[in-house]
A = this chain, B = another copy of it.
Amino acid sequence: MAKLASLKAQTRLLDRRAADQIRTHILDGILPAGQRLLETKLSADLEVSRGTVRSALAQLANEGLVKQVAFTRWEVSGASVSDAWEIYTLRGALEGLGARLAAGNIDEAAGKALRAIAEDLGKAVRRGRYQEAIGFDFDLHTAIVEMARHQRLADQHRYILQQVRFHMVQSGFLPEDYDALMAEHTRLIETVLAGDADNAEKLARSHNDAEVKLLAKRLKEGDGATPAASPKRVRARA
């Protein structure tokens, strides 16, 4: 008998799917930072009840994409400089642990998968498809973290990468030197696959060091609390 696929995936709960929709809109930049979210409007747009929307928003709040002000409003989180600094430093710690553990779990299949993604990334860069490249970049780091076989770490990492993407969209930040980036990735992969835990961790951690240092500097200079966007007195009817 042919193996049938589980239907569970199709029957995702309504509130999860609602959260997926809203999340996608936020991560694609359609809903900008500070944008107010009305339960009734979302409810009408998504054609679900307000309670379901509420559950979805609570989920997104846990992921850090949305903020709740009790009795008053929901809004898309703003990624201030200090937020960005938090995100990148935390990412470093998580990916450091991930790389360390991954180096202890090397196996044939995982190694091939890693190199395959790196290959895709290289191709995308050479063809100037930078948007795709960023996607493969994320895939690569995710793959390494998953090699750690650490559910909680994988979950946290997913959330953090989501916020990284969110911040990139909001700030318009893009990598500059793709060649250096590729070299770093290659070195990281090979170190992991060599089973060198200590150095794998170091490399994974220093991957963001440039950003972190820049952000820390900007934090010290200016007001780190200033949101990227501060839409005041916007009376959107939408």
Contacts and interface: CB of A to CB of B under 8 A. Distances in A.
Interface of A: 8, 11, 13, 51, 54-55, 58-59, 62, 64, 70, 86-87, 89-90, 92-94, 96-97, 101, 150-153, 156
B70 A11 contact: yes
Nearest to A98: B93
Query: Secondary structure of the A side of the interface?
Result: helix
Contacts of A8: 70
30 contacts: A8-B70, A11-B70, A13-B70, A51-B51, A54-B55, A55-B55, A55-B58, A58-B58, A58-B59, A59-B62, A62-B62, A64-B152, A86-B150, A86-B152, A87-B152, A89-B97, A89-B101, A89-B150, A89-B153, A90-B97, A90-B150, A90-B152, A90-B153, A90-B156, A92-B97, A93-B93, A93-B94, A93-B96, A93-B97, A156-B156
Copies of this chain, count: 2
**Which 6 A-B pairs have CB atoms at the shortest separation, nearest pair first?**
A93-B97, A86-B152, A62-B62, A93-B93, A86-B150, A90-B152
